[in-house]
Structure 1
């Protein structure tokens, strides 16, 4: 597949002029095609593509595919990116088709919906004996003008939906349950029926928004996530622990009674897509007029407690902010998880809650929350002596977090300083982003 993808991209570039090679690949996909006097187009292309990984080639295919509405190129890229993902088997796709019966698009035209994701313009003569008619003509005839001629199972076979990428198949299902196709009980019942089938392969349709009061569903891998929506993020503490009260206990609206200057409180609604760096910057610019992203980054760094934490934080933004842009998840330092009021010190028979703060927190799509801990010696010692008690408290708190749906990742502080630290940090976030399908 990677060789085929290389050939597709090289062929696309070969069709450009020398001037286009110097401009279009960089504009569309960030690919620099070097120019030297005397180099042929083929030599320039070979130099530009020589050291790219399979994933980088695939991302190029997605970028060029989107820019040129090239479905085969986009599909080739997605197949490479999904190489290690759980497959949606042909059995599941067949059962999905049967659940849809003879109606994929509901109130919309089938050819219109399918044509967004599959090539329907190729004339088909042999199968139907209808010279010059395209697959789009056949779909419109047999699915829209004469409902019942074709089943959705037959449609899937004709358009290639039994063998396409997971992403393309999922996009087709998103259209099938879009409120423009189905609404009310019809939509709700179809989502339930499809999810029972998709769950067998580890996928589902989940609500991610609304359109005029009607649910919008997105196709995703099944994830456990954390129940409920995050609210009142208290983070980046750089001084005494703040004292908190309720402005409205019914709505869970908090107020900082003292120590407000030592922490930050993000109180905007957080959507199902998580919290991005750009959203955090937007909030910061409103609560601190005249401030920018660089000043926010500097403020967050003031809360970091060690060289290891500072290294991880700096490398994250240096490596991924240029690549991910608006899609970069916010990396929140020193986030309060549990909160004991100051009066807890005066109470009897009351132990403090464990793990008051997390070193770093990321809020990703679909209620996924990532906790990153940087462990110094105080995580394993008491009074400079190894302590099984301290260690047991730490792993017990980890268990509780995982059972609540959080993902917890630990680094030893020594891993994040000295030679090899940068590579280790980048390797971790590369794998984390692949796991959660975070791409620009």
Structure 2
């Protein structure tokens, strides 16, 4: 790629006169073309470009391309810079197209939208000849004059959107969900549907300002989640800590040695989309004869110790189970984060691990793990005395979790009881789901 990019820049600059080479490359892109008696134009350009890194060549190519309206050169530079971030695969781009079905532009002009990002003047086979229609003519005939002949997936295939640079693809996608194309509820539904596809490659459409009160979205990498994949969830603790062993240490397969009634252990594979309530219910039905969502909810509530925690749990499901349906993330109560074996009390020279359990955990798409803590007096005090030591241990454990990629949200227990509790809880989850691309349709 570097030599190809170098050749493209060389071919763009070579038609300039010696005099223009003295000034124009520097004006446009900050590229100094050396002078030297007896040097040809090719030699001067090659000296200027030799030794530049792949990224430097790409940045030069984009500056020159923008000045000259050279879409192909711009694309060559963008593809080099794309290597700095995870790829947006053909599979994901195809599935993005399928979200739109046969309507990419919505209320906007399709040809104008596509032509802002892709060259449409050339024919499908790349040869200008009598009777061969340009891409623009083909799109007009198959999607504008006769809607539905081509799907958006067909369009992406013909214009090269399945293989183009991520930046060019992002430009087309952002135009398709711009308020001029889609607004209000339609925009929100489309963004949510697209984000469920894009998150598989680590991307999302996130708010990037407003125009006339309407949100504008940009394609960005999803915020860093927790590395690794969950293997065992030990949760819904309602009594003494169970004693665990490894049935197979190589595979990290856990066996409950005693106390199995005090906790639940979810050991099924968890997908990149996180853990949903529907998946947890399906697992529960295989654990308990006749187990269903209602009995699972009752079992999880048994692990909740305070009215504040019970309000979070009950309000969550009442407010979101119907609207989010199968997309509803499972709200897991009393989840063990660190696990010390029972024998820890007999060990010397080692303190127990801090933050043994989390009040609630949500496993969201893109490896995002959300911790919700309900803080009572014991989070800040020893007995009835305020304790800086206890508080310091808590905030230190929070820092370590955040550095590992977790999101942590704390509530004072008094916020979650009383007449305003429901409003506080729903307001929090509305905002949280909006951040993570989930809407309560």
TM-score for both structures, normalised by structure 1? 0.58
Using the alignment, how far apart are the partners of 1:102 and 1:148 within structure 2? 27
Cα distance, 1:100–1:290 mapped onto 2, change above 3 Å: farther
> What is the SS of the residue equivalent to 1:230?
coil
Alignment match, 2:367: 367
Using the alignment, how far apart are the partners of 1:327 and 1:97 within structure 2? 42
Equivalent residue for 2:126, pick from 146, 150, 153: 146
1:142 Cα deviation after fit = 3.6
Unpaired runs of at least 5, structure 2: 1-65, 80-87, 130-134, 141-151, 171-193, 205-219
> What is the SS of the residue equivalent to 2:241?
coil
Counterpart mapping for 1:308-319 below 5 A: 308-319=308-319
Cα distance, 1:242–1:117 mapped onto 2, change above 3 Å: same
Matched, 1:116 2:89: no
Cα distance, 1:330–1:122 mapped onto 2, change above 3 Å: closer
Using the alignment, how far apart are the partners of 1:342 and 1:242 within structure 2? 8
Using the alignment, how far apart are the partners of 1:399 and 1:332 within structure 2? 22
> What is the SS of the residue equivalent to 2:298?
helix
1:122 Cα deviation after fit = 11
Using the alignment, how far apart are the partners of 1:404 and 1:123 within structure 2? 45
> Is the 8 Å Cα contact of residues 102 and 147 (structure 1) preserved in structure 2?
no
Alignment match, 1:252: 252
Alignment match, 1:430: 430
Matched, 1:194 2:166: yes
> What is the SS of the residue equivalent to 1:265?
strand
> What is the SS of the residue equivalent to 1:372?
strand
> What is the SS of the residue equivalent to 2:366?
helix
Cα distance, 1:311–1:139 mapped onto 2, change above 3 Å: same
> Is the 8 Å Cα contact of residues 233 and 266 (structure 2) preserved in structure 1?
yes
Using the alignment, how far apart are the partners of 1:122 and 1:408 within structure 2? 41
Alignment match, 1:406: 406
> Is the 8 Å Cα contact of residues 102 and 148 (structure 1) preserved in structure 2?
no
Larger Rg: 2
Using the alignment, how far apart are the partners of 1:398 and 1:105 within structure 2? 35
Superimposed CA distance per residue, residues 359-400 of structure 1 (whole angstroms, 9 cap, x where no aligned partner) = 000000000000000001000000211000000000000000
Using the alignment, how far apart are the partners of 2:268 and 2:311 within structure 1? 29
Using the alignment, how far apart are the partners of 1:258 and 1:272 within structure 2? 32
Alignment match, 2:183: none
Alignment match, 1:237: 237
Matched, 1:331 2:307: no
Alignment match, 1:384: 384
Counterpart mapping for 1:119-198 below 5 A: 119=105, 142=122, 144-146=124-126, 194=166
1:147 Cα deviation after fit = 6.9
Alignment match, 1:304: 304
> Is the 8 Å Cα contact of residues 99 and 194 (structure 1) preserved in structure 2?
no
> What is the SS of the residue equivalent to 1:394?
helix
TM-score for both structures, normalised by structure 2? 0.58
Unpaired runs of at least 5, structure 1: 1-90, 128-134, 160-171, 199-205, 210-215
> What is the SS of the residue equivalent to 2:339?
coil
1:146 Cα deviation after fit = 2.9
Alignment match, 2:63: none
Alignment match, 1:59: none
Alignment match, 1:268: 268
Superimposed CA distance per residue, residues 135-160 of structure 1 (whole angstroms, 9 cap, x where no aligned partner) = 9xx999845333799xxxx98xx99x
Using the alignment, how far apart are the partners of 1:296 and 1:224 within structure 2? 32
How many residue pairs are counted as aligned between the two chains?
Answer: 297
> What is the SS of the residue equivalent to 1:365?
coil
> What is the SS of the residue equivalent to 1:424?
helix
> Is the 8 Å Cα contact of residues 96 and 194 (structure 1) preserved in structure 2?
no
Alignment match, 1:99: 75
Alignment match, 1:48: none
Using the alignment, how far apart are the partners of 1:355 and 1:96 within structure 2? 55
Alignment match, 2:30: none
Using the alignment, how far apart are the partners of 1:95 and 1:311 within structure 2? 56
1:280 Cα deviation after fit = 0.6
Using the alignment, how far apart are the partners of 2:342 and 2:373 within structure 1? 25
Cα distance, 1:385–1:97 mapped onto 2, change above 3 Å: farther
Using the alignment, how far apart are the partners of 2:390 and 2:283 within structure 1? 38
> Is the 8 Å Cα contact of residues 96 and 197 (structure 1) preserved in structure 2?
no
